[in-house]
Structures are given as structure tokens and as C-alpha cells.
Amino acid sequence: MEIKRPMYMDSHATTPVDPRVLEAMLPYFSETFGNAGSIDHAYGAVAAEAVKKAREQCAHTLNANSEEIYFTSGATESDNIAILGVADQYASKGDHIITCVTEHKAVLDTCKHLQKIGKSVTFLPVDQYGLVDPGAVEDAITDKTVLISIMTANNEIGTIAPIKEIGKIAHKHGVIFHTDAAQAVGHIPMDVKNMNIDLLSFSGHKIYGPKGIGGLYVRSSNPRVKLSPIMFGGGQEKGIRSGTLNVPGIVGLGKALEIAGKEMGKAEKQYRQWTTQMFDAFKDEYPSVMLNGHPTKRLAHNLNVCFPGIESKALLHLLRDDLSISAGSACTTTSVEPSHVLLAIGRTVEESHSAVRFGLGKNNTEKDFVIAIEFIKKAINCILKFK
């Protein structure tokens, strides 16, 4: 079979919609097109029922209750609602937030905005693998701390944080715990109750669902989390996120999460084997290659490496017709600044500019990753030849 080019290995940026997800969505674009808020007639009632089902699908995958799921336009909006909503709602209790330096920009920039308007934010460092120390989290808590926000799995280097332990610390001190789990949900098991999570952001397009749809889990008891809305209008989603519901997107998100909940374990072993073999192959050819992120506590489908002396943008330019990979986060690829994540784990500016990220997906095969290794070797040798 002829390999489709360019071969896609950038699943941290986005994923193709699963055909089963698309099939579930299609009727809600034309046949059952009702507004889920217009339940006085059949069209709206059918749409509302579809939204209810999707809410239940999302909740089941996270071990949450369906009324704890709120639909948004994606994880970025969910992060904003969670952080800004807590900061405003609990302002009388305190004005201090704890996060870490390797968070997604949706968290970092929101926290920096809060700093500008007078809030206090602690940005904790990480170790050489990108792990934040739970002890450091606890040490940073003050009587004014209202929120801790630590991402579950890093979008660049794949490191998985000790979320359960951090959540336990947060609850011990009566602090709300939020996690950006956009890269984790659908790829590793997430149990909001067992992991002591109060707020969790997730997105559809990272798990073979549609773009422009996501969700926010909001704990309803022990403790009950209250959020101030950051946008206003018709009062949809209990007033937390006004706006006409994106019914096809919501249906797609629910279906994608349902599928992921059933299938995520099947590919994990295969992904880990492939990414390990890829790194070993690179190491054999280029002994100076460096793995970014934790060697074992990482997403199985993630591989982020530095090829010292090789400019990643030049490498990607040579590969553009053969292989689609990334030089960093999809949200910052137009920037010439070095990755804040790689700098935080101790990489130099030069090393950061030599990093590439592979995100394997369920459409990849063993043949794909073998060929991808050869593409990389050929491109690097081409660059070295003219240095």
C-alpha cells in the first residue's frame, strides 16, 4: 500500500475526526437541527436530549456526574472560565493562585492577567523532567490561596504530573484544584473523584473529535465549587457559559470520549514501544540526541527530542512533503522564541531551537514510524552535509 504523504505525526496539535464520531454528528447539522434551548417543540427537544446524552458520555469517562459537565469552545476557554471564575468567586477568601512554569499559555497568560489586576500568583519551577514537586506546591500555599492549577500531561514533552497527590494536598488545605487535562483525557485514565480534582479542562480535537468544542468538569460536592461567569447572555450551562449550544460539536465530543474510554488502553502499549524504538534509532545514529521529558512518566504517544546542532525549523522545512511533525506547541509555532517548557527543564536556547515533537496517533502504523525514522535521518544528514 502506498504511504499517504505527508505522513501525519502531530497528534498533540490535533487529530482527525473518527468516522464514528462524524457519523454521530451529521444528523444534527441538517436533519435534527434544533436549538437545545428551544424545548417547547420536537426539534429543540431532540437536540436537548442529544446534549444530555453527550453530557452523560463525558461524565462516565471522567467518573463524574453529568450535571458537573459544562460545554465550552475548547480547553482554552475552559481554563479561562476555571481560573477567572474561581479568582472572582472566592476573592473574599483570598487572592493567591499557584501554578507552574510549564503550563499551557491558556493557563499562564490567564494567571499573568490576574497579576496585572492585583492578584498574587506563584509560578513553581519544575525539575529536569518537567515534574513539579508536590512538596513545593504545599510549601507555596498560604491562607490567601484559593486555587492550584497544574496540568495533567504536558503538551510539549508529555510528562505526566503527580495529579492525585497534588489534589490531595489542595483538599487538605481547603484549596480548589484545577487541572488542564487537554492532552490527557482520552489517552490515560482520568478519575476526578479518585484524583481529587475539582476543575478539569478538556477538548474534543485532541481525542478524534471535532475542533471548537470542549468541556469543563466542575465538582458539585465535597467541596462544591462555585464559579463566576466570564461571559454573559442567555444563561446557558447554568449561567457559567452563555451562548447557543453547539449541538453537533457536543454530540461529537461525547461520542469521541465514549470511544476513547473503551479503546485508550489498546494502543498505549504499542505507542510506547514505537516511541522507544524511535528514540533508540535516533540515539544509535546521533549519540548526542536528547530526550525531553520524563523517560517513563510520560504520554505513550509523545516523543520530544533535541538534535543538538540541527535547527528544527530547517529540519521541518526539509520534511514538509514527507512528514508532519512539530517544533513545539501548536499554539506557539509562529513564535521565534524558544519553548518556555524546554527552558524550564534546563535546555539552553540553542538546544530548544533543535527540538522536534512527534505525536503518534491511531491512524499511524508500524510501517509509518519505521519510514519516519528514515525521513529524519535523511533530512539531518542533508543539513549536516552543508554545515
Domains of the chain: 7-15+264-385 (3.90.1150.10), 19-258 (3.40.640.10)
E-assigned strands of 204-308?
214-218, 290-291, 302-306
Mean pLDDT of 227-250: 91
The residue to which cell 476557554 is assigned: 77
CA distance 317 to 305: 17
Judge contact between 344 and 338, C-beta under 8 A.
no
pLDDT > 70? residue 192: yes
Which band of pLDDT confidence, cut at 50, 70 and 90, is reported for residue 157? very high
- Tens of pLDDT, residue by residue over 90-147, are 999 999 999 999 999 999 999 999 999 999 999 999 999 999 999 999 999 999 999 9
**What is the chain's length?**
387
Q: Measure Cα distances from 258 to 59, 122, 194, 255, 373 in Å.
A: 10, 36, 20, 5, 33
pLDDT value for 4: 57
Helix (H) or strand (E) holding 121: strand 120-124
Q: Which of 39-53, 59-73, 96-110, 113-127 has the lowest mean pLDDT?
A: 39-53
- Tens of pLDDT, residue by residue over 111-124, are 999 999 999 999 99
146, three cell numbers: 484559593
Question: Catalytic annotation on 331?
Answer: yes
Is residue 101 helix, strand or coil?
coil
Mean pLDDT of 211-235: 95
pLDDT value for 387: 65
- Active-site hit among 58, 100, 306, 331: 331
Q: Exposed (0-12), middle (13-18) or buried (19+): which is 75, by Cβ within 10 Å?
A: buried
pLDDT > 80? residue 5: no
386, three cell numbers: 552543508
Q: How far is CA 2 from the centre of its chain?
A: 32
CA distance 6 to 323: 5
Which band of pLDDT confidence, cut at 50, 70 and 90, is reported for residue 267? confident
pLDDT value for 43: 86
Q: Which amino acid is at 241?
A: R
Of 255, 201, 197, 179, residue with least CA distance to 63: 197
